[in-house]
Structure formats: structure tokens, C-alpha cells
Amino acid sequence: MADLILTQSVLDKTKTEIENALIKAGVNTVLLIDEAGNVVTACKHKTCTLDTTSLAALAAANFGVTAQIAKLIGEDDFSLLFHKGKKDSIHFARINNDLILVTIFGENVSLGLVRLRVAELAKTIEKAFAQIY
Amino acid sequence: MALINLSKKEIHCKIVYYGPGRCGKTTNLLYIYNAMNNQARSKMLTIETKGERTLFFDLLPLNLGKINGFNIRIQLYTVPGQIIYKATRKLVLKGVDGMVFVADSLKVRQGKNMESLQDLHDNLLDYNLNTEEIPIILQFNKRDLVPTPIPTLTKEELEIDLNSQLNTKVFEAAAIKGIGVFETLKEISKRTIQYVARKHLSTNH
């Protein structure tokens, strides 16, 4: 696992893409994290007071654990995970070998829309990060 | 793996406290958490499980101030020590930049110490890493038990068991009383940052 060096241009581009695809669609919070549990970038509404450090560590661990479950049933990995809450739900999607996109959204946004936008966004982010590897 | 954010001028490093079950890894983190002020530390994350054992990991994020204009942020992790949780330990080791091996001074744990160190070597190898590359230091914990009637290992015995191959710096500690905890943290932070800096900051990023 190589170290990740984030440049201003890649971060700015990623943030803009996330804002346009998800935050403007009504999603509460989007975190781009790496598999070691670091927050690469966080986009959220100003009122949101989420502990992003803890969330990133747990989300990375969650992804790691489900990958192990996947192996037990003969899969390599589950590329997306979804947990449904009473008010808010959380969606995890793998971008590439190192990056995971975490999306937290309320009842006002449908899972279908999130899945569609995340799938498109994943390709854009993957392309943007390809230049810094 | 370290994360270097050139936009925010931040460096994030991951330090893992490794060692056999009940050797005091979480106790180290708890002491650091209680002793540091709110500006330097964030919330300590412990995954709630029944009993005293760590089943997944504990996480303590710290701010260590600035070096060359870069904010240094360190995340301290512990692993579950019990030998059966090998898969979980391997997950926590993902992206590690520095390690502290906490050894138990109790004589009855002599075998467990060596078993855990071997397990660390095996897990690192799975990530194509080794202890010669990644900074690692040793902490001999529970030294406060030496003067008591409880049978303990001498420093020399622990050195032979654990440090003959690592050949690294050793700190004697009593984590529950805070003895040696910050000395250990200071040394591993220094070595980890030097390791990350050596790899990257001398280049033209």
C-alpha cells in the first residue's frame, strides 16, 4: 500500500464533483476515505457535526471485515455496502484498491439515486486519482 | 500508508500498538488520552464489546503540532491481542507507518510475547513489509510488578526473547501508572515522522 500524496488540484476537482453529484442532490455527508481509515476529503452541509475521523476508521474497518466475509463465501470483495437506518442511511462504495466513498443520506433521497450517482462519480474520482499514483 | 494532504498541509500517520492479549495496549492509549489536553487529542474510539478485551481495535487521534509548516496528525491504534483474532489484527495493520510492540513482563506470558511477535512478522509479510523497514520500538510493560512476589521476566530475558532480531530501542513501562508511556509515544512518533519524511518531503512535492 503506497503512501497517498494529495495535491490541491486533485482535491479541488474531487470536491467539486462530489458537491455536484451528491450534495446538490440532497445527500447529507460524503466522505472519501482510504483503506487505512484516513479521511481524504469530506463534503457535508454546514450544520452537520459528524465525527469524521471515527467514521472513517470504522468505515474502513467495516469494509475490511465484509471483505473477509466475502472471502468466506467465495467472493473476492463486496464492492458496495448499504446500511439502512430509521432516518439516515449509509452507503459505502469502493472506488479503487485504496479508496472508499461513504455517503450518508436521509429519507428525502432515494437509494436508487445514490447508487446511480455514486457509480458515475466513482469513475470520475478514479480518473482524477490515477494521476497521483 | 501515510496520507499527505498538500492542500491542507497535513500529514496523517498510523501507529499500531501490537502485543499479546492483556499486555496493556489499550491501557497505554487510555493513559495518553487522559493525560493530553483537548486541543491535542480527539475523541478516543473504542468499539464496545463485552468484557475487558479489545475485540476489534481502539483508536486515538492526536495532533502533534507543526513541522516545516505541516500539521502532524497521528492515529494510534491497538489490535486485539488474543491469538485467535489474527484476521482482525491484519486488518488493523493495513497502512501502518510505525509500531510499538508491547511485551508483558509476567513470566507466564513469556511464550505469548514471542508468539505475538512472530504473528506480527507474518502479518507484515502479507503486506510486503518487514520490521527492518517500518519503525518499531519495544515496550516492556508491567515493570511495576518486578519488586512484587509475582514471577516476572528480567529485562535481559525479554531482550533475548524479543530484541535479538529487532535490535531496536526498548522502554520499560508501567502503563497503568503512566510510567514510560509518553517516552514510548515520543520515540515512535519521532521515528515514524522521520520515516515518512525521508520517503517524501525531500522530493519536490
Q: CA end-to-end span of chain B, whole Å?
A: 17
Bridge partners of A91, per DSSP, are: A82, A103
B44 touches chain A (CB under 8 A): no
At B198 the pLDDT is: 87
Q: Is residue B6 part of a domain?
A: no
From the CB of residue B118, how many other CB atoms can be counted at a distance below 10 Å?
Answer: 10
Q: State the average pLDDT over residues B147-165.
A: 96
Print the domain residue range for A53. 8-130
Chain B closest-CA separation from residue A111 CA (Å): 28
B196 touches chain A (CB under 8 A): yes
Complex-level ipTM: 0.78
Q: State the average pLDDT over residues B163-176.
A: 96
At B43 the pLDDT is: 87
Q: State the average pLDDT over residues B20-32.
A: 95
Chain A closest-CA separation from residue B47 CA (Å): 9
* Surface of B (69-98) touching A: CB under 8 A: 75, 87, 91-92, 94-96
Which of B3, B7, B196 is facing A34, going by the closest CB pair? B3
Cα distance between residue B41 and residue B44, in whole Å: 8
Q: Is residue B7 part of a domain?
A: no
Query: How big is chain B, counted in residues?
Result: 205
CA nearest neighbour of A64 among A24, A16, A100, A26: A100
Cross-chain Cβ contact A34/B199 below 8 Å: no
Chain A closest-CA separation from residue B131 CA (Å): 16
CA nearest neighbour of B95 among A4, A31, A30, A70: A4
Question: Which CATH number fits the domain that encloses residue B163?
Answer: 3.40.50.300
Average pLDDT of chain A is 90
| Angle between helix A8-21 and helix A111-130 axes, rounded to 10 deg | 160
φ/ψ of residue A101, rounded to 5: -105, 125
Q: State the average pLDDT over residues B143-161.
A: 96
Cross-chain Cβ contact A54/B45 below 8 Å: yes
A50 touches chain B (CB under 8 A): no
At B204 the pLDDT is: 47
Q: Is residue B1 part of a domain?
A: no
Print the domain residue range for B170. 12-199
State the total domains in chain A.
1
Q: For A68-86, how does the pLDDT look when each residue is reduced to its tens digit (9 = 90+)? A: 889 889 998 887 899 999 9
Q: For B45-83, how does the pLDDT look when each residue is reduced to its tens digit (9 = 90+)? A: 887 666 667 778 899 999 999 988 999 999 999 999 888
Q: CA end-to-end span of chain A, whole Å?
A: 11
Cross-chain Cβ contact B14/A37 below 8 Å: yes
Question: Which CATH number fits the domain that encloses residue A36?
Answer: 3.30.450.30
State the total domains in chain B.
1
CB contact set of B144 (below 8 Å; sequence gap of 6+): B174, B176, B177, B179
Q: Is residue B204 part of a domain?
A: no
A72 touches chain B (CB under 8 A): no
Edge-to-edge strand order for the sheet containing A99-105? A39-44, A29-34, A99-105, A89-94, A80-83
Q: For A12-48, how does the pLDDT look when each residue is reduced to its tens digit (9 = 90+)? A: 999 999 999 999 999 999 999 998 889 999 998 766 7
CB contact set of B51 (below 8 Å; sequence gap of 6+): none
Q: Is the pLDDT of residue B192 over 90?
A: yes
CB contact set of B48 (below 8 Å; sequence gap of 6+): none
Cross-chain Cβ contact B94/A11 below 8 Å: no
* Alpha carbon separation from B129 to A66, A79, B70, B103, B121 (Å, rounded): 24, 26, 26, 21, 9
B3 touches chain A (CB under 8 A): yes
Q: Which residue of B has its CA nearest to A69?
A: B87
